[in-house]
Structure 1
Amino acid sequence: MKAASQTILVHEISKLQTKEAQWDPFAWYQEMRENNPVFYDAEQDVWNVFLYDHAKRVLFDHALFSNKKERSLIPTPREDNRANVNFVDPPEHRNRRALLAKAFTPRNLKEWEPRIHMIVDELIAEMEGRDTVDIVQELAIPLPVTVIAELLGAPTKDRHQIKSWSDILFMPYAKDTYSDVVAEKAQAMKEFHEYLLPIVKEKRKHPADDILSDLTKAELDGERLNDEEVVLSGIGLLGAGNETTTMLISNMFYSMLVDKPGVYQELRSDQSLVPKLTEEVLRFRFPAAMDRKVAQDTDVFGPEMKQGQVVVAWVGAANRDEAQFAHGEEFDIHRPGNQRHLTFGAGPHFCLGAPLARMEANIALTSFVKRFADIGLVENFEVTEHLIDSAIGQSLESFPIRLEQG
């Protein structure tokens, strides 16, 4: 794979090739923080930073590290349009972001809270009276995709198809399957587009109380968004709106059973700790990375980075930086300041959907711990049998757990 390719192949940088290593890259993160905190990958002409302060600088300083980039880790097909908040910097970015931001204001989310509770309750009711459930397939996947489909105004009955397209769009690229993955993503994008276009046209004629309707009415630079721009924005929100939250909810249960056995009982006795657990999972068990283009020659991290090169901020490594988080390799829901993690980004490109993801995760776990007395690993559980390729590593495709009714 030549460095000129638009796509940066993350596993070619880390050299983590096995499922086990990609699921648990944290030893490699630690090694890089300690021994190679600013690392140049000559094969792809990519700089990599692993320390918290470095990663935060990359995400915040758009004068030095621009989001206007030709090459990226982002595995979704690039579709630039006036409503796309990716690949631009302030001030242009500010106007585009404002179009989408009002859907995720605290006031709007507050209005959605009862509906999220209802969806969670319906999913949990299906688990009652059972000894084991697959928490990924029965909670972590259906909750976010149902919520984001309803928020946008797409029919909930289509959530399985929406999830399938989203999964394909977020599949990582690899050297040996590159052209196949490109073709598969293009097909998913085409089908997703053909699905949403008539829905958008209908919303323009008969607006409802949802995000797609709001986008058909929104103006940018004095002009309405056209149908194409609304469709592409909808695809972006539907995709991003379920991938991260599914991973968060899945990882919350994994952390309670593997990273910190016994913490579930703490939550049972004090549900106010649920948001603390959510933040610690986001800090501790999220192998995230974000990229920027070097906007001007700089030696801000020591070595000379040249204008036009790419720099990857390994957020999952930064989140365990001992200089920022004492005993960063330990899972501790009582850690002060654990919400300072960079999993949702930082600066102007901070994730718009972060408040929604947090709300869904907190509601889901609070309702769950109220209903079930305890959870446990199923016998002979091997995590590698339950993994699937995801944006920059592996994520849980399934996770069977034991339930103790209560």
Structure 2
Amino acid sequence: MVSDMGLHLLQDWMGFSHENERGLARLVLTMMVWLWGVCLWVFSQSTINYAKIFDLDSNHLTHREIWKCSIWMTVIVPTSMTAYLYLYSHGEVALAASQPVILYVAVALVLIFPFDIFYFSSRYFLLRTLWRIALPLQPISFPDFFLADILTSMAKVFSDLERSVCRMVHRQVATIAWFEADSVCGSHSVAIPLVLVIPYIWRLLQCLRQYKDTKEKPTLFNALKYSTAVPVIFLSALKYHVSPDRWTYVYRRLWLFSSVVNSLYSFYWDITRDWDLSVFTRIFKFNKPSLCTNLFYGRRWVYFWVIGSNLILRCTWTYKLSAHLRHNYLTVFMVTALEMLRRFQWIFFRVENEWNKITKSGFQIPMVDMPREEEKLLGSTNHNV
């Protein structure tokens, strides 16, 4: 009886851990949508015309509509997790395993739904951008590499989703195989580092495509930045394929070195290229009006904060992406959530920098052509669910 009870508790723990892994990934996705709504709200209150930057049509989603989607996700995701745990705890393992599959299929169907409901134009814009990211056969636009950069921050989420789908396909939910590291979907799976590296490969290919089109050398240095993520991911995964001593004295040191290189390189690029802070001189010199930001109006503490926090959160990158550190679900969730916050503040300065480039190039928008979001909402009837 003791052995049966122990087996039952082990199966309960495996089932709950499986749902924690998958559910936390979905919570991070929900968090990212909420934060994107906040970004759009801030842009709508400033002089930054984000619709022009992203080349959006008049029917683009506003922050209010993004928040409506966020509310639905906030309701559906916890409900999905609760339904899984309820069915599993009552012995309905097959129904529990099929429940998340139904959710994923439903989301996919909503995205590809061909009729003009559920924000059709915005769904089409998103799918088209994702397609251009996966196959960079055309000249790269700002929305293409902007979304691709966001996807690099969500690499851990994609890896967790891959493991969840793998376990559901191979029916490893609530089985001993779920616990075995060398099972098809276990810790030794080569699919884990492959999924982690895909967003970085996409971004690297985009940079190479930009160099082909523009012949600008900085795009090659940007491609080099994304290439430094590859050794971090694969050296970390080697822990499950080499002896412990060889990992400790050889590959672990290489992993740490490659992690430091990538973190510092990415930090430098954020500051000098993505945000164009000109190696911090923008912080200390505000005597020229052209150096003031359109978004935060030259407040020095904002730049001190964003530079310091970006450096710290960049250093957590190794934990977020390392294949051999993924078993501490809550810690990984916290680190991934912090990465979402880092990307959230990155968006403000990246979009601001792009707007500054547009205005400096001589592009000017008359005030009559920049309607406030509230006016557009009152006059819009195309986005009805």
TM over 0.5: no
TM-score of Structure 1 vs Structure 2, range by shorter chain: under 0.3
| TM-score where L is the length of structure 1 | 0.26
The structure with the largest strand share of the pair is 1
The structure that is helix-richer by fraction is 2
**Largest Rg, 1 or 2:** 2
